[in-house]
Chain A
C-alpha cells in the first residue's frame, strides 16, 4: 500500500470515528452518573434530522447545529425524566427513544419535504473542510507535507470538535469537582445524597451533556459527513459508540482509542470492498464490519481485560426517609 493511500485511509478513519467519539463521550458522561443510555443512536438520528431540516430551510450550518443540539437535548430530557424523576427502567426508555426517533424523523420528514422521509439535498448550510494554516509551508516537505495535508488539515470543524471533546471530557470527569461528584453518584448515590448534594440534579446535568454531544454527532452525520438526511442514516453507529465506550472501560482516552480503532476497521472495510488480496482471496467485508461487536462481546466476557460498569448504573435512586 502506498504511503498516500495509507494516509487517505487514516484520514477516512478519523472522519468515520467522529460521530463515534462524540457519542462515546456522551454515553460516558451519562453512564458515569448512573444512567444507562442505549438511546445514543436515537438521539443522534433525531439530531441528524433536525439539523438537515434546518439547514434545508435556513441554509445556515450554525442554526442547524443549534437545532440538532436542541432536539437531542429534548430527547435526553425525556430519558432523564423517565429514568431520574419517574425511576423507570433505563433500558426500556432507551429502546423507546430509539424507536421514536426512527419513526418521527420519517413521519415529520415526509410531511415537511414530501420526499419519502428524506430532506432535500443540501448545497449551502454545511460544515465544509477547513484548511489549517501553514499547509503551503509544509507541503513541499517529504513525509510531513502529505501527513499534514491529508491527515491533520482538511477536515471539517466538527471533526476537530470531536477530538477536543475527549480531553475536555477527561478534564471534566477526572479534574473538576463536578466530575468527582459525577463519578461518586454513579458508584454510590447514597454517599452523595448524605453529603447534601442532589442526586437528581447531578444526573440531570449528565444527561443534558449527553444530549448536547449526541446533538453535535447527529449534526455531523447529516450536514458535514453527508449532504442531507435519509432514513435511519446513523445505521447503528450509536451502538458502536456504546461498544467503544465499554471497550474503553468508561474512560475517555481508552474510549477514544476504541473509536479510532472501530473507525479504522470501517475505513478498511470500505477500501476492501470487492478487492482481492493475494493469499486470502476476496476479504469478507461483513467480517471486518462485525469485528467491533465481536470484540466488545469478548471484552465483556472478560477475555480481554475486565470491563466493570459504574456500580449504580441502571439502578434508579430512591431517597430514604
Chain B
C-alpha cells in the first residue's frame, strides 16, 4: 500500500465528484470513438445545441426543471439513508393529480389561483403514492427499494387503465384527455418576455422553473436549518443513535419519503400544466431515473442538484441536437451517459480516492522535505 494522506475537505467535496464525472465522460467518449465519431466534435455540437441559441437554452432549462424536482426527491431521501427509486411513479401520479384538478376547474379559474392548487395537488398525489412504501418501510420492514420499484409499475398500470378506460375522451388509439383551457395553463417564459417587449422563440420553458428554485431553497432550509432536518439527518447517520437521542425514526422515515414523493410529483406541474396541457401516457419519460443520477452527481445538496440538473438538461437537449447532426450517434447516448454517471459517481464513487490520496500524500511529503531543507 502506498502512503496516503487524508484528503482536505475541499478536495473531498469538490475534486472527487469532479474526478468521477470526468471518468464517466471519458468512458462515454470512448463509446463515441468506438462508433467511429470524434468525441470532441460531439461535445462541441452538444454544447452549441444546448446553449448556443435561445431555443436550445429554453429546452435545456425546461428539462433541467424536471430534473431538479426528481433530483431533490432522491436527495432528500438519501439524507435519511433511504433510497427512493419510485420518483418515476410519483411524478406520474403527481401529474395525474394536476391533470384531474385542471380538467375540473380550468373553465372556472385562471392559472393564477390554479397554480397554488395544482402545486398542492401534485404534492399531495406524489406524497400519497410514496406513502404506502414509506409506511411499509417504517412499520413493516419492507425494503423501500423493492416496494418503490413495484409502485412504479403499479403507477404505470394504473395510468394505462385510467387513460384507456376512464379519461380517454377521443376514443383515439393514442389515449389522451381533452386540452385544458388556455387561460388555465402556465405562461411560457417566451410569453412573459414578449409581454415585457423582449422577443424570444417558442420553447417549453415555463413558470415552473421558479417552482424548481423554490423547491431547492425549501429543501436546503428544511434539511440544514430546521429541527426536523436535524432529525432527518440523524436518522440517516444512525437509526439507533437517533432513537437514543429521542427521535422517532419511523415517523421521520414516513415524513421524509412522503416529502420525497411530493417533490417528484411536482414534475406534473411542469409537464401537465406547463407543457402538455392535457393528460396523456408516459409524460414522466424517465425523469425519475435521471433524478438518481442528478442526486448522486450533486452529492444530494440542492446547489449540486441544480448544477447537475442543468448539466443533464444540456445533455438531453444537446443529445437531441447531436443525433440530428450526426445520425450515427443515437440520442439514446444520453441514457448511456446517465448510466455511466450513476456508475462512476455512485457505485464506483471510491475508485479515484486512493489515487488522489496518494497524490496528496506525495505533495505533502514534498513540502515537508522542502521545509526541512530550509
Known: A297-B142, A301-B140. Contact between A103 and B147, CB under 8 A? Answer: no
| Selected contact of B154 from candidates A36, A78, A96, A294, CB within 8 Å | A294
A-B contact pairs, 9 of them (CB 8 A): A86-B351, A89-B83, A98-B339, A102-B335, A103-B337, A243-B146, A286-B161, A286-B164, A296-B150
User: Chain A residue with minimal CB distance to B329?
Assistant: A107
Known: A99-B339, A99-B342, A302-B142. Contact between A297 and B147, CB under 8 A? Answer: yes
Would you call B157 an interface residue if the criterion is a C-beta within 8 Å of the partner chain's C-beta atoms?
yes
Extra pairs beyond A81-B348, A101-B339 (13, CB < 8 Å)? A86-B351, A91-B85, A92-B83, A93-B343, A95-B346, A102-B339, A106-B335, A107-B333, A111-B330, A239-B150, A286-B164, A302-B140, A302-B141
User: Chain B residue with minimal CB distance to A246?
Assistant: B146
- Which of A236, A239, A242, A301 has the most chain B CB within a 10 Å cutoff? A301
List, in ascending order, chain B residues with CB within 8 A of A268's CB.
Answer: none
Known: A289-B157, A309-B143. Contact between A95 and B330, CB under 8 A? Answer: no
Does the CB pair B136–A88 fall under 8 Å?
Answer: no
In chain B, positions 65-117 with a C-beta closer than 8 Å to chain A are 83, 85
The interface residues of chain A, by DSSP majority, are classed as: helix
Using a CB–CB distance below 8 Å, which chain B residues touch chain A? Answer: 31, 35-36, 83, 85, 132, 136, 140-143, 145-147, 149-151, 153-154, 157-158, 160-161, 164-165, 289, 292-293, 296, 328-330, 332-340, 342-343, 346-351
Does the CB pair B332–A107 fall under 8 Å?
Answer: yes
List, in ascending order, chain A residues with CB within 8 A of B143's CB.
Answer: 300, 309
Known: A290-B154, A293-B154, A300-B147. Contact between A87 and B350, CB under 8 A? Answer: yes
Would you call A108 an interface residue if the criterion is a C-beta within 8 Å of the partner chain's C-beta atoms?
yes
List, in ascending order, chain B residues with CB within 8 A of A104's CB.
Answer: 31, 336, 339
Does the CB pair A89–B289 fall under 8 Å?
Answer: no
Rounded to whole Å, the gap between the CB of B214 and the closest CB of chain A is 28
User: Chain B residue with minimal CB distance to A303?
Assistant: B140
Give the 10 A-B residue pairs with the shortest CB-CB distance, closest first.
Answer: A103-B335, A99-B339, A93-B347, A100-B339, A88-B347, A103-B336, A92-B346, A290-B157, A300-B142, A96-B343
Would you call A198 an interface residue if the criterion is a C-beta within 8 Å of the partner chain's C-beta atoms?
no
Would you call A208 an interface residue if the criterion is a C-beta within 8 Å of the partner chain's C-beta atoms?
no
Number of A-B contacts (CB under 8 A): 148
Rounded to whole Å, the gap between the CB of A235 and the closest CB of chain B is 10
Interface bin, chain A: 35 or more
Known: A91-B83, A91-B85. Contact between A96 and B158, CB under 8 A? Answer: no
For the complex, give the distance between the alpha carbons of A309 and B179 in Å.
Answer: 47
Does the CB pair A239–B149 fall under 8 Å?
Answer: yes
Does the CB pair B343–A284 fall under 8 Å?
Answer: no
For the complex, give the distance between the alpha carbons of A90 and B333 in Å.
Answer: 24
List, in ascending order, chain A residues with CB within 8 A of B347's CB.
Answer: 82-83, 86, 88-90, 92-93, 96
List, in ascending order, chain A residues with CB within 8 A of B349's CB.
Answer: 88
List, in ascending order, chain A residues with CB within 8 A of B329's CB.
Answer: 107, 111
For the complex, give the distance between the alpha carbons of A82 and B346 in Å.
Answer: 9
- Which of A92, A96, A300 has the most chain B CB within a 10 Å cutoff? A96
Does the CB pair A92–B146 fall under 8 Å?
Answer: no
User: Chain A residue with minimal CB distance to B344?
Assistant: A96
| Selected contact of B348 from candidates A82, A91, A297, CB within 8 Å | A82
| Selected contact of A107 from candidates B31, B136, B145, CB within 8 Å | B31
List, in ascending order, chain B residues with CB within 8 A of A81's CB.
Answer: 348
For the complex, give the distance between the alpha carbons of A309 and B340 in Å.
Answer: 29
For the complex, give the distance between the alpha carbons of A92 and B132 in Å.
Answer: 22
Would you call A186 an interface residue if the criterion is a C-beta within 8 Å of the partner chain's C-beta atoms?
no
Known: A102-B332, A107-B330, A107-B336. Contact between A95 and B151, CB under 8 A? Answer: no
For the complex, give the distance between the alpha carbons of A121 and B143 in Å.
Answer: 41
For the complex, give the distance between the alpha carbons of A260 and B193 in Å.
Answer: 59
List, in ascending order, chain A residues with CB within 8 A of B31's CB.
Answer: 104, 107
Would you call A10 an interface residue if the criterion is a C-beta within 8 Å of the partner chain's C-beta atoms?
no
Does the CB pair B348–A293 fall under 8 Å?
Answer: no
Does the CB pair B348–A88 fall under 8 Å?
Answer: yes
The interface residues of chain B, by DSSP majority, are classed as: helix
Does the CB pair A284–B161 fall under 8 Å?
Answer: yes
For the complex, give the distance between the alpha carbons of A151 and B112 in Å.
Answer: 62
User: Chain B residue with minimal CB distance to A296?
Assistant: B150
Rounded to whole Å, the gap between the CB of B249 and the closest CB of chain A is 18
Would you call A61 an interface residue if the criterion is a C-beta within 8 Å of the partner chain's C-beta atoms?
no
Known: A110-B330, A117-B330. Contact between A286 and B339, CB under 8 A? Answer: no
Known: A87-B350, A103-B332. Contact between A95 and B292, CB under 8 A? Answer: yes
Rounded to whole Å, the gap between the CB of B295 and the closest CB of chain A is 10
List, in ascending order, chain B residues with CB within 8 A of A101's CB.
Answer: 339
Rounded to whole Å, the gap between the CB of B338 and the closest CB of chain A is 5
Does the CB pair A111–B346 fall under 8 Å?
Answer: no
Does the CB pair B153–A95 fall under 8 Å?
Answer: no
Would you call A47 an interface residue if the criterion is a C-beta within 8 Å of the partner chain's C-beta atoms?
no
Known: A89-B346, A107-B329. Contact between A97 and B157, CB under 8 A? Answer: no
Would you call A38 an interface residue if the criterion is a C-beta within 8 Å of the partner chain's C-beta atoms?
yes
For the complex, give the distance between the alpha carbons of A303 and B154 in Å.
Answer: 18
Does the CB pair A242–B146 fall under 8 Å?
Answer: yes
List, in ascending order, chain B residues with CB within 8 A of A110's CB.
Answer: 328, 330
For the complex, give the distance between the alpha carbons of A290 and B347 in Å.
Answer: 31
Does the CB pair A92–B150 fall under 8 Å?
Answer: no
In chain A, positions 112-148 with a C-beta closer than 8 Å to chain B are 117
User: Chain A residue with minimal CB distance to B353?
Assistant: A86
For the complex, give the distance between the alpha carbons of A107 and B141 in Å.
Answer: 40
Would you call A277 an interface residue if the criterion is a C-beta within 8 Å of the partner chain's C-beta atoms?
no
Does the CB pair A99–B338 fall under 8 Å?
Answer: yes
List, in ascending order, chain A residues with CB within 8 A of B85's CB.
Answer: 38, 91, 95
For the complex, give the distance between the alpha carbons of A101 and B339 in Å.
Answer: 8
Does the CB pair A106–B330 fall under 8 Å?
Answer: yes
For the complex, give the distance between the alpha carbons of A150 and B68 in Å.
Answer: 53
List, in ascending order, chain B residues with CB within 8 A of A91's CB.
Answer: 83, 85, 145
Binary per-residue interface labels of chain A (223-263) against chain B in the complex, 1 for a CB within 8 Å, 0 otherwise: 00000000000001001001100100000000000000000
Would you call A287 an interface residue if the criterion is a C-beta within 8 Å of the partner chain's C-beta atoms?
yes
Rounded to whole Å, the gap between the CB of B267 and the closest CB of chain A is 18
Rounded to whole Å, the gap between the CB of B371 and the closest CB of chain A is 32
